Amino acid sequence: MEIDLTKARTTVKELSEALAELDGTVVDEAPTRAGRGQRTDVSRTLQRLAHLGNRAAVEVMDAYYVFKDHDEPTGK
């Protein structure tokens, strides 16, 4: 049996790239339209990053369950 983590690795790579892009961002705290817009973008990006982390975890668990099904003895 070959363990296939391609989907999880792709998701983690996407997450890593997005984290690197957001890391160190200076947020404009001014009560201006531009400041609110940037804070909204950062908030949405952080929510998307959390989603990617959850998706990667689910993809790893999918691989685990495929492995577990093959690993169990046949006489249940």
The answer for residues whose C-beta is within 8 angstroms of residue 3's C-beta and 6 or more apart is 63, 66, 67
In terms of residue numbers, what domain contains 53? Answer: 6-71
| Number of domains comprising the chain | 1
Tell me if 76 is assigned to some domain: no
Tell me if 16 is assigned to some domain: yes
The H-assigned helical ranges of the chain are 6-22, 33-71
Q: What is the pLDDT of residues 15-69, one digit of tens each?
A: 999 999 999 999 999 999 999 999 999 999 999 999 999 999 999 999 999 998 8
* DSSP-assigned letter for residue 74: S
Tell me if 13 is assigned to some domain: yes
Tell me if 40 is assigned to some domain: yes
Tell me if 1 is assigned to some domain: no
Q: What is the pTM (predicted TM-score) of this model?
A: 0.81
What pLDDT shows up at residue 1?
82
